[in-house]
Amino acid sequence: MSRGAAILGGGMIAAVHRRAALLAGAEVVGVLASTAQRSREVARDWGVPTGYPDVEAVLADDRVDVVHVCTPNATHAAFAERALAAGKHVICEKPLGVSVAEAERMAAAADRSGLVAAVPFVYRYHPMVREIRERRIAGELGELALVHGSYLQDWMLSPDASGWRVDPELGGRSRAFADIGSHWCDLVEWVSGHRIEELVAATSIAVPDRPATGGPAFSGAGSGERVPVRTEDSAALLFRTGGGVLGSTTVSQVAAGRKNRLWFELDGALGSAVFDQEDPERAWFGGVAGNRVLVRDPEHGGAEQRRLSHLPAGHPQGYAQCFENFVADSYAAVDGEAPDGLPTFADGLRSARLVEAVLAAARTGSWTPV
């Protein structure tokens, strides 16, 4: 069934949502950017019918079945809650809210509505992530003893790099962890089957001041006067899961040469498994008798890995297909299906609680429950 979609936001990630919605069979009927003029410009560039003047126009448009919220973090709650109240399904960028209270309110609104409310924890949709998860569930790794990894980027390495995420009024009190550490935790909890129960954390700011006006996300320098930085560049966590598994992760946006390296390892009594988002076609499986590297292949492996493999083996899939898989499953849910692993507002709330625990642990230096 064809569905009408409206995109809130006109930046890089909004364009990714637009493409994925089109590939999922939706009709993108309009876009709302930062101003009415900007909305018209983006609508023209994208070739969509409508550049909305305001959110009221979006919600009044009977063509719109699904609203994609791709705006700065501080606006997510207001836009998503209003869309749900108007009877629209919602795909809302993370973090779900800039506080636990906002996320709780949004998750409750989604529950009351009965509508699809999804959050793009899209790394769940790499086929080889599904392969590791299925093999873990089948017992191939045995009982887990250790979970560890990192998520490293370098786009904030330059002292002149800036953006709205740096401002806690727009992005929230956490930057690096809320932006990318949230992805790592969601992915590893989902793949391992273990939830983080308590943690101790430390954060650091490598660049004490940055330009007040930011440039494009992931590239370009900011401009204007320099202002103090109040959100972290890096974070390190040590944690225990409810199942007694020890774990750790390091998150940074100032790791030179690392563009988008989400990496994790699960170490079990019978074997280990490794996934690297910058090499997503492969998964490494370790064992005492020898190690194996499995390559994505729609003709072999677990059912979910084959379902999400759209290209033949040796024809690399990456982030774009990962995001497209997520949006396709979101629209399948709108049509009444129940796709495995679709991240919802409940997962967004879980992430908000992890962010809050990390900030609290970094402040007190003590083990903190999630």
* CATH number of the domain encompassing residue 102: 3.40.50.720
187-245 pLDDT, tens per residue? Answer: 999 999 999 999 999 999 999 999 987 666 666 566 778 999 999 999 999 999 999 99
Which residue has tokens 């740096």? 166
CATH number at residue 299: 3.30.360.10
319-344 pLDDT, tens per residue? Answer: 999 999 999 999 999 999 999 999 99
Annotated catalytic residues are 94
Mean pLDDT over the full length of the chain:
96
pLDDT given for residue 218 in this prediction: 60
Residue 42 reports pLDDT greater than 70: yes
Phi, psi of 199 (to 5 degrees): -155, 160
Query: Residue 265 belongs to what H/E stretch?
Result: strand 261-268
In this structure, the answer to whether residues 8 and 35 fall within a common structural domain is: yes
In this structure, the answer to whether residues 129 and 20 fall within a common structural domain is: no
Please answer whether residues 361 and 191 qualify as being in contact, where contact means their C-beta atoms are separated by less than 8 angstroms: no
In this structure, the answer to whether residues 133 and 114 fall within a common structural domain is: no
64-88 pLDDT, tens per residue? Answer: 999 999 999 999 999 999 999 999 9
Which of these three, 98, 122, 146, is where a domain ends? 122
- 277-282 long-range contacts, CB within 8 A, separation 24+: 277/123, 277/126, 277/319, 280/126, 280/128, 280/317, 280/318, 280/319, 280/322, 281/128, 281/316, 281/317, 282/128
Q: Are strands 246-252 and 234-241 parallel, antiparallel or unpaired?
A: antiparallel
How many Å apart are CA 295 and CA 61, to the nearest integer? 45
pLDDT given for residue 220 in this prediction: 58
Which of these three, 99, 122, 145, is where a domain ends? 122
- Beta-carbon contacts of 19 under 8 Å, excluding residues fewer than 6 positions away, are 320, 324
If pLDDT is split at 50, 70 and 90, which confidence band does 2 have?
Answer: confident
In this structure, the answer to whether residues 116 and 180 fall within a common structural domain is: no
Please answer whether residues 68 and 14 qualify as being in contact, where contact means their C-beta atoms are separated by less than 8 angstroms: yes
257-297 pLDDT, tens per residue? Answer: 999 999 999 999 999 999 999 999 999 999 999 999 999 99
pTM (predicted TM-score):
0.95
